[in-house]
Structures are given as structure tokens and as C-alpha cells.
Amino acid sequence: MRFAVCVFPGSNCDYDTFYIIRDVLEKDVDFVFYDQKDLSKYDCVVLPGGFSYGDYLRPGALAAKSPLAEAVVEFAGRGKLVLGICNGFQILTELHLLPGALLPNLNMRFVCKDVYLRVENNTTTLTKKLDEGEILRIPIAHHDGRYYVPEDELKRLEERGQILFRYVDQDGNATDGANPNGSVSNIAGVMNKEGNVFGMMPHPERASEDILGSHDGLMLWYSLISD
């Protein structure tokens, strides 16, 4: 399985993500740059966190108009795997590969801390090695993470099992207090209805080795690479 990690001007989690794939998962991985158009030799494309194009206009808005973004749309259309983390998630919503949008945090602050996530659907390519309802501790680091979808679309996401993770407290309750950014229905990650494009605000690449304080993100990567 061959990975591509997308690099836009302003990406800053690209090396962390590359490191986890190459050194922890021991899989082939290349950086692909914003001006490239060919993803044909890859099986999975990861859009990493950061501040692509300085978050100008809106987070992810300019990256979504780059040549590489066009290639990602084509790649996803062929049913290949796409994972967007943090700014990558924002880019995927701007591309309409994922539903909804990510708005400024309700408290208008950058929030950088560990959060608890509850696995809402463990039958997906990204979560199949986890248990349903399992609680993960993974950090977030964002200013614009308030997930928003209109109510009717939210209902459809729920019905189709497209909600991957919710922000919860340590006991697994999706309370307002456990919601770090005001996301609708405490949503931290979603997938498309075809089940091959995934987006999440928390950073699994920052929680994939014990030395980093948590390895709860590791099972997501293992899910991705296992049949």
C-alpha cells in the first residue's frame, strides 16, 4: 500500500504524518506538492494539518483550488482512500468531498489540548480495528473546528452512519462541556457516503507512539492499512 502526503504552502503536520506512515507503519510514502496533478501510483492520500495558504479567505479555501486538489477529487472519485486531518478536513469540506463546513471555534480561540473521542461507527475502513463506543484520547489543535451541517443533512449523516467520532467526556458522554469548539452534535469526524473519504479535526499522527503520550491514534492507521 502506497501513501501520498499532500504538501501545500503552510502545511505543518506533513512531516509528522510522513514519519508515522514510514517509520511506524513501515509503508511506502511520498510527499506530493500542491502543483502536482498525478496521484495514479497511490492507494491512499493524506491531507495533513497546518495552515495551507495562511488560512486566507477561509481555512482550506485556497488549497481547494490548487492543481493537487483537483487530482484529489479525481482520486476520490475512483474510490481510492482519502484522509484529511485538521486543515486536511477543512480542505475536503471546501472541495465538497465531505459534507458540511468548519467554522471558527465558538470561543474564538485556538484550542490545543487532548480530547476524548467516542467511536460512532466501527464498520468503516478507518475505524474497523476499533470497538463501537470505544473512547480514544487524541489531541486537537485548531482555531476553526466547529463542524456545521444543516439539520436535514445532519439527520442523513446519522442515518447513513457517516459520523465517525464525537467529542465526549472521559466516561463517553457527548456533553456540551466536552465539546471543545461548538461543533454541531459534538461531531469530530465524518466520512462521505461512499465510505472512502474521511475527515477529522483531531490529530491521530500526534497520538501514535507512547513517547507522544498516547498511542490511541495508531489503530486508525492500522485500520487503514489492513484488509
Q: Are 135 and 172 in contact (CB under 8 A)?
A: yes
182 makes contact with other proteins (CB under 8 A): yes
Residue 147 in grid coordinates: 463542524
Is 44 catalytic? The answer is: no
Catalytic residue (choose from 13, 44, 94, 205): 205
- With CA atoms as reference, report the closest residue to 49 among 19, 22, 89, 81: 89
Using CB under 8 A as the binding rule, whether residue 148 contacts other proteins is answered as yes
User: What residues pair up with 27 in beta bridges, in sequence order?
Assistant: none
Q: Rounded to an integer, what distance in angstroms lies between the CA atom of residue 86 and that of residue 9? A: 15
Nearer CB in complex with other proteins: 17/179: 179
Cell of 208: 501514535
The number of residues that bind other proteins (CB under 8 A) is 16
- From residue 98 to residue 127, the character string flagging contacts with other proteins as x (rule: CB under 8 A) and all else as - is --xx-xxxxxx-------------------
Q: How far apart are CA 172 and CA 9, in angstroms?
A: 37
Site for other proteins in 35-94 (CB under 8 A): 57-58, 61, 65, 94
Interface positions with other proteins (CB under 8 A): 57-58, 61, 65, 94, 100-101, 103-108, 148, 150, 182
- By annotation, the residues acting in catalysis are 86, 203, 205
